[in-house]
Chain A
Amino acid sequence: MELRQTNGNAFFLKKRLKLTLLIGLIGVLYVGASLVLDFNSAAFLYLDRGIIWLAKNFIPNSQSMAYWQEILGALIRTLLVSVAATSVAAVISLGLALMGAKSTGPSQVVSWVIRGFASFMRNIPIVGWAMLLLFSFKQNDFTGFLALLFLSVGFLTRAFMETIEDVDIEKIQALQVTGANYFQVVSQAVLPEICTPLISWVLYMIENNLRDATLVGLLTGTGIGFVFDLYFKSLRYGPAGLVVLAIIILVIAVELSSNFVERRIAHD
């Protein structure tokens, strides 16, 4: 209130002060974290060294081309498992998200329970899932499928929930006031509205799961991640580079096709 009487200098001063304090606080945290870890910021001056090393060691050579068939097979397998896990996760997540979103769910309590569950699924570290799943399900594609499924459910539930909450509540009300019941409103208003972002989340998740292929490899003993691990651990960097290249090509292909799909289903 007292600001209104002034000529505005106080306002700008306060704003600048706040900003300075914020920057100061972040700076202090940065220094603190650096000390905890013994991190030296000057390390960024040596960024080029890593890139050079990567280029020197990981460029696939002619010898590594001998492995391409093996790599291709594993790549396809991995893609299929990623797609399957994501699709199943999408169905589960959609159900959970509808129950958990503020605009479509029954109550705040349910919403928090679902949010908590999703968070739990996402935040158990990969190493933790690996141990739990391997111990019970052993090494096979199914274990990798489950791991991706759990992580994807955690991620997609949250993403879907936020997408649903982004739908203008009035649009939902507009159908409610016609006397339509819950399921009708969901299928006729909510689903069409979120269809586009929903599909792009699913495609993103597939892409992401491919990127996590190293994890799948660890868990399944098959797939591209395992092949990478095999060459990598035996220090055959040429073939390992070829695997990375294959993953890059696949991920970019998926990214491009999801861009393509998104453009075709976009509304504007």
Chain B
Amino acid sequence: ACGKGSLASGGKSSDTLNVVFLPSDSAKEETAARKALTTEIHKATGKKVNVQTTTDYNVAIQSIASGKAQIALMGPDGYIQAHKQSHNVQPILTYSGKSGTLKDAYYHSYIMVPKAQAAKYKVNGKYSLKNIKGKRMSFVSNTSTSGFSIPAGAIKKAFNLKSTDDLAQSGKFFSKVMYGQSHQGSAVNLLKGDADVAAFDDMDLTQYGKFQNDSTKAGAIFKINQNAPAPFNSVRGKSSVAIAAYAVQNEPLVVNKSKISDKDTNKIIKQLTSKSVTNNHLFFAPENAKVRGLFTKDGNTKFVAISDKWYQPTHKILGE
């Protein structure tokens, strides 16, 4: 009979807000950044804020969907799954790109092949998914939005499959399926020659290499830097080509509407889109900042209010 951890079952009247973090594709947040978020939400609502980090995808989704947590920061795929579980789960904010608007609040998911093999995947002079059947495929993990859900959704559509299950296992659609467990891992699988085709995104790889041309379209060429650190030290200088590229909406901050009042939600939106947050390096850290921020600052990066509608393209590609 000790300790004072909350057993609060949530609910609108509660004076505590639980925020769930799932370290995912983009948010490599650090303690300081999490704390900053706590402070801002507390400032906005006057409520006690609990931030909890889970490494488990399902735990995060179930928490927000069941209302045990009222606010969550998770990848787009996680949001969509949670939304499917409970329509009370709604996105309220995401972060913008350079422009400071939703126009470029995207990152990209690619289906890549080694540069030397790229020609084989052209059909009528255009890159196509047609030839990937039977190849050795590398994904990130089966919960990654840009490293699995989006590309697999696209392949499913292109080949008219019933579900993505067949894409997830060796010996079905692909001769072999492997998981890099991270975008870096998936890229290394490809460049080392363990996989013929790989899915990964751009934002996790920017510190290891550069895009040589328009990175938003099929045909984008990605080259590893000559001084790339581990795990890329054995594939320095190698290049890959995207045979497909998909824009993915940046990840949202979501709330469970049944457990948090609209008033509070609006206060949070207001607070987080304010100038002080925009300029707070703990939220948006410059590329070379010592203390890691929640996100990387690029031009005018800041929080922008959104609704479920903004994720329509992803809803569609995931077939939900």
Contact = CB atoms under 8 A, between A and B. Distances in A.
Contacts of A226: 169
B233 interface: no
A108 to B, nearest CB: 40
A41 B1 contact: yes
A230 interface: yes
A233 B143 contact: yes
B3 interface: yes
A40 B3 contact: yes
A230 B4 contact: no
Interface residues of B, number: 27
A234 interface: yes
B7 A138 contact: no
A259 interface: no
Contacts of B142: 229-230, 233-234
Interface stretch (A29-37, A94-102, A147-155): A29-37
Contacts of B61: 235
Interface in A109-133: 130-131
A48 to B, nearest CB: 14
B5 A40 contact: yes
A229 B56 CA distance: 11
Question: DSSP majority for the A interface?
Answer: helix
Interface in B47-63: 57-58, 61
Contact of B7 (A30, A31, A43, A221): A43
B15 interface: no
Nearest to A139: B178
Contacts, number: 66
Contacts of B4: 38, 40
B126 interface: no
Contacts of B189: 138
A103 interface: no
Interface residues of A, number: 28
Given A230-B142, A233-B142, A235-B81, A221 B179 contact: yes
Interface in A29-86: 30-31, 34-35, 37-43, 46
Interface string B53-88: 000011001000000000000000000010011000
Given A39-B5, A41-B1, A138 B58 contact: no
B165 interface: yes
A134 B178 CA distance: 10
Interface of A: 30-31, 34-35, 37-43, 46, 130-131, 134-135, 138-140, 221-222, 226, 229-230, 232-235
Query: What 6 A-B pairs are tightest by C-beta distance, nearest first?
Result: A34-B3, A139-B178, A40-B5, A38-B5, A31-B2, A39-B3
Given A38-B5, A46-B7, A226-B169, 20 more contacts: A31-B3, A35-B3, A37-B5, A40-B2, A41-B1, A41-B2, A41-B3, A42-B7, A138-B178, A139-B177, A139-B179, A221-B169, A221-B170, A221-B177, A230-B142, A232-B58, A233-B58, A234-B81, A235-B58, A235-B81
7 contacts: A31-B3, A40-B5, A138-B178, A138-B189, A226-B169, A233-B58, A235-B58
